[in-house]
Amino acid sequence: MNDDLRHSFGFDPDELHTFTGDFLTTLSQVQEEMAELTGRGQAADGQVTVAYSELKGVHDLKIGPRAMRLGADMLAQTIQEAIETARTNLRTQAADLVTNSLGTTADLEDTVTTLSTAAEDALARSLQNTINLTNRLR
């Protein structure tokens, strides 16, 4: 049966099913790992440190004694700098996780293009077979 489908459609449905299942499993694992990522940042020579995660937002903010002497405006700016560094660190970790788990955007585009082309070819063959059958039945 699968040989008939492979011949008719130009791809093996079992292989497509396996590929799709593996992809969805990997995607689910990436989502779970993504939720556990934490970015870290610091400013003022390590006097201000902070962690940032999607789940908790800003957390583990630590302000050293030298940073406390910066004055309110400068301290606020330093804290913001540390937070932005932590957020950038989190984005980098997330991008690395996705790339290591799923490949680059180009890899994903190639996969989608391959599957799409196979489906289009299968549809064209199926339509041609239907036309041929209709012509024979006349």
Answer whether residue 138 is part of any domain.
no
- Could you tell me the two tokens for 114? 């391959």
Q: How far is CA 89 from CA 47, 78, 100, in A?
A: 18, 17, 16
CATH number at residue 27: 3.30.1310.10
Answer whether residue 136 is part of any domain.
no
Per-position pLDDT tens, the chain of length 138: 556 655 555 566 777 777 778 878 888 898 999 999 999 999 999 999 999 999 999 999 999 999 999 999 999 999 999 999 999 999 999 999 988 887 776 677 777 777 777 777 777 777 888 888 888 887
- Could you tell me the two tokens for 73? 């405006």
Which residues form the domain of 44? Answer: 2-131
As for how many domains the chain has, the answer is: 1
Q: How far is CA 58 from CA 61, 67, 83, in A?
A: 7, 18, 7
Answer whether residue 137 is part of any domain.
no
Phi, psi at residue 104, to the nearest 5°? -75, 170
